[in-house]
Amino acid sequence: MKILVAEDQEVNFTLLKKLLTRDGHDVIWAKNGLEAYNKFIENDVDLILMDVMMPIMNGYEATKKIKAYEKKPFIPVIFVTAITGEEELQKAIEAGGDDFLSKPVNNIVLKSKIFALNRIQGLYSLLKKQNDELLSFKKRTQKEQKLAENIYNNIIYPGVSGNSGALITHESLKMFGGDFALIASNPFGGVNVLLGNVSERGLISSICAMQVAEIFYSMSSKGFHIQNIVTSIHNRLSNLLSSTVNFSMALLHVDKECKTVTVWNGGLPDIIIRSGAGLRDSVQSCHPPIGKEFSKDFESTCQVFSIIPGDRLILHSDGMKKILEQNSGEKDVVSLVSRFENGVSLQKYIQQCIEASKNNRVVIDDVTMIDLECIPDNFRDISSKVEHVDRLRTKSWKVDFDFKSDVIKSVDPLPHILQCIMGIQGMEAFKAPLFMILSELYNNALDHGLLELDSSIKSNPEGYVTFYDERKKKLSELANGFIRISIENEPINNGAVLSFRVDDSGPGFDQSVSVLDIGSNTTCSGRGIPLLKSMCEEVVYNQTGNSVVVKYRW
């Protein structure tokens, strides 16, 4: 060790130096308190032996200055003095002394005190190192949380509800929690809603949310079925998340007429379907959360439920149940929702519970609730309006698709066809009507051609569920058949005409059956062909009804 000895009497210093050098220590001499302070600054000493009574600056003042110097680590100071009075000893401790020795110095006592203080110094250095690491971790965590907050504010949450009729309540335990909500339209004119909960907080959940949002928004805008969206999210997160992190998610799609809701629920509380008269249904979680732990049990199977315009869909995280228990003792979220006839009053009540917990300093979990009012007008603005854009120079082109039964059973080709058209011509402003036309043509060929389903099954809201159950069954049993789609674009003055020809291997349908126009049809079926006629210049079927040509001017 390098030891600084502050002693004005040379004979005393010589004695101390002899004892210290015998044990292998390096010794520096300071003849007064001021010199001791200056040599402490200039040298990396490990310990100081300080006399009390010295010229220029006494030991008390020198020690105070040394202890006040913040640029060096903890350096022990042992007062070496002939003074034994209690008052003087108290002054030594108050000045910052860590121990004291009485003159004449006993070698064994000196060695013991040096050893003890060296051990304390080591513990102090370790503590300081750990404290510095904690401070560094805190700063890094704050930066990560700031990044997470920025991701949420600028990537995930902007315009999340838009004009969709959704009320979102969100409260996080930390700067960034594990809950997030996503809402997006699709080219059908309906809406997709996602509520997610990551089991970890901070940057991990932020990265997870960013990955989910990217897939959700991209695939929703391209019209993919939520079953495909769930599969893509599962595939991405299974590779991304560690084995200790899980992602619970509820994903649903409401069709543009608010007749059906398609649901995938993996690990979140029941989704509540509330009608004007009260509870209509609740959708339990049929799947485990997404993550490595449950990867082998993953299924993308969705459930379909009948709804009517005006119904509300309530999704919530498990934090909502906890916040209710803390404030009202209520444990049944379903019965709570049944008491509130509109989403605004329910949202206000939940917010009051959150604020009450904050005021009582009760620790709350992340609380998120989405209350979606199913009104067709809320979803229609996206599908029915084509914004004015400068027409790109139209091109002459043609593409053909031939889908066999094995592809039809396993893949939804419509988003891929639409992307192909967008890539050739760049018709982003017409994406919604084009998707609607393609969807009606393809689904008519599949449902009423290959699968021979009767549209009249959908004569009432409950019939939608029956129709889609039958569709799923027949599609799984489909052994052969084809659907061929030919798309051709021909430029004309001020635009172009896009022609769609769809052929299927089904038996067709009776051309003599009259079809009501879209404005006169008040039933739940028979609306596909009138919709096409309302959007297109020409809709012509062949005599057997298994081939159709449609022309759309743009």
Secondary-structure breakdown of the chain: helix, strand, coil percentages, each rounded to the nearest 5 = 45, 25, 30
What ranges do the domains of the chain cover? Answer: 2-127, 157-381, 386-553
**What CATH number should be reported for the domain whose range is 2-127?**
3.40.50.2300
Is residue 259 within 8 Å of 312, Cβ to Cβ? no
Average pLDDT, the chain: 81
Which pLDDT does position 148 carry in this prediction?
A: 59
With a cut of 80, say whether residue 215 has pLDDT above it: yes
Alpha-carbon dihedral 339, 343, 346, 352, rounded to 10 degrees: -170
Which pLDDT does position 193 carry in this prediction?
A: 93
Which pLDDT does position 81 carry in this prediction?
A: 83
Residue appearing with tokens 């015998």: 22
User: Between these two residues, 186 and 35, which has the higher pLDDT value?
Assistant: 35
Q: Which of 255-269, 344-358, 503-517 has the highest mean pLDDT?
A: 255-269
Q: Measuring CA to CA, how many Å separate 83 from each of 17, 34, 500?
A: 21, 21, 107
The answer as to CATH 3.40.50.300 being correct for domain 386-553 is: no
Q: Where are the beta strands (DSSP E) in 119-214?
A: 166-171, 179-185, 191-198
- Quick one: pLDDT band at residue 321, thresholds 50, 70, 90? confident
pLDDT tens figures, 337-395: 777 766 677 878 888 887 777 777 665 667 888 888 888 877 754 443 333 334 445 67
Which pLDDT does position 380 carry in this prediction?
A: 57
Is residue 21 within 8 Å of 45, Cβ to Cβ? no
Which pLDDT does position 188 carry in this prediction?
A: 64
CB neighbourhood size of 493 (10 A): 5
pLDDT tens figures, 403-429: 999 999 888 888 888 888 877 776 766
Is residue 8 within 8 Å of 31, Cβ to Cβ? yes
Per DSSP, 446 falls in state I
pLDDT tens figures, 36-94: 999 999 998 999 999 988 999 999 999 999 999 888 888 899 998 877 777 777 888 88
Paired tokens of 495: 């635009």
* DSSP states along 190-243: -EEEEEEEESS-THHHHHHHHHHHHHHHHHHHTT--HHHHHHHHHHHHHHHS-T
Alpha-carbon dihedral 138, 141, 145, 151, rounded to 10 degrees: 150
pLDDT tens figures, 129-146: 898 888 888 887 777 666
Which pLDDT does position 385 carry in this prediction?
A: 37
Which pLDDT does position 543 carry in this prediction?
A: 86
Domain 157-381 CATH (choose: 3.40.50.10310, 3.30.9.10, 3.30.365.10, 3.60.40.10): 3.60.40.10
